[in-house]
Structure 1
Amino acid sequence: MNLLAILGLLLAAHALCDYPLQGDWLSRAKNHTLNLVPGEAIWPGALAAHAAIHGAAVGLITGSHWLGLAETVAHAAIDYAKCDGRLSYNADQALHVACKLAWVALLAAGLA
């Protein structure tokens, strides 16, 4: 598969994972500033699950477990910063797209 096709699939998978596969509940549950279940911190598991969904998509599309892991870590860090109020919605999405470009660049360079 050529790199442009991989990029297209990565972007489509991102849209799928960040919108219909996330849903309203997960969107709120991953936010460490909200208290959805009084007395319990559910955000670490929710954020990890959401980021892992993204990482799995990247790993499947690229064939690289390392890129899948990198996506999981990057996605969690970006979303945490957004929930913390350090990133706007648009900055959050721009960083997610930048990650996809970085993964394709690493593939092109033979580093992944």
Structure 2
Amino acid sequence: MTSYELFQMFVLLLVGHALADYPLQGEFLAKAKNRFAPVPGVPWYQALGAHAVIHGGAVGWITGSITLGVLEVICHMLIDDLKCGHRISYNVDQLLHVACKVVWVVLAASAALP
């Protein structure tokens, strides 16, 4: 991949993140994914999982790699759970999500991933 293609991938990953974390998450998932303040009758892990799968789908679609999509799901769940538990701030949460996108681009550049 050329440096331009890698930059383009990074920008698209940021756009995908913005879409998945804001309009595609919505108020319901934003509240229901929090195991520390659960929505009655809604399993928090299903809401958190659904939110993370939206992100993983965006990463997989943009990178063309199911592996990177699955890694995104796992990382996104862990990071959001830390934020919901007030172990990291909103800004650190967003910084970690962007750092993951940098890692995905590096991995996409350095390996042929499925």
TM range (shorter): over 0.9
Cα distance, 1:110 vs structure 2: 1.6
Q: Label 1:111 to 1:84 Cα distance change in 2 as closer, same or farther (>3 A).
A: farther
1:35 equivalent in alignment to 2:9: no
C-alpha distance in structure 2 between counterparts of 1:35 and 1:55, whole Å: 23
Q: Distance in 1 between matches of 2:28 and 2:65?
A: 30
Q: CA RMSD in A?
A: 1.2
**Residue type matched to 2:87 in 1?**
R
Correspondence list, 1:18-29, <5 A: 18-29=21-32
Give the SS at the match of 1:20: coil
Indicate the SS of the match to 1:32: coil
Q: Is 2:75 the counterpart of 1:74? A: yes
* % identical equivalent positions: 53
How many Å apart are 1:41 and its aligned residue? Answer: 5.2
Shift of 1:35: 2.8
Q: How many residues align?
A: 110
Aligned AA (1:75): H
Task: Report the residue type matching 1:3 in the other structure.
Answer: L
TM-score (norm 1): 0.94
- Structure 2 residues without counterparts, runs of 5 or longer: none
Q: What's the offset of the Cα at 1:111?
A: 5.0
1:14 match: 17
Moved over 4 A (4+): none
Q: Deviations over 1:38-91 (max 9, x none)?
A: xx4520000000000000000000000000000000000000010011010000
Match of 2:72, SS? helix
For residues 11 and 41 of structure 1, the distance between their equivalents in structure 2, rounded to whole angstroms, comes to: 29
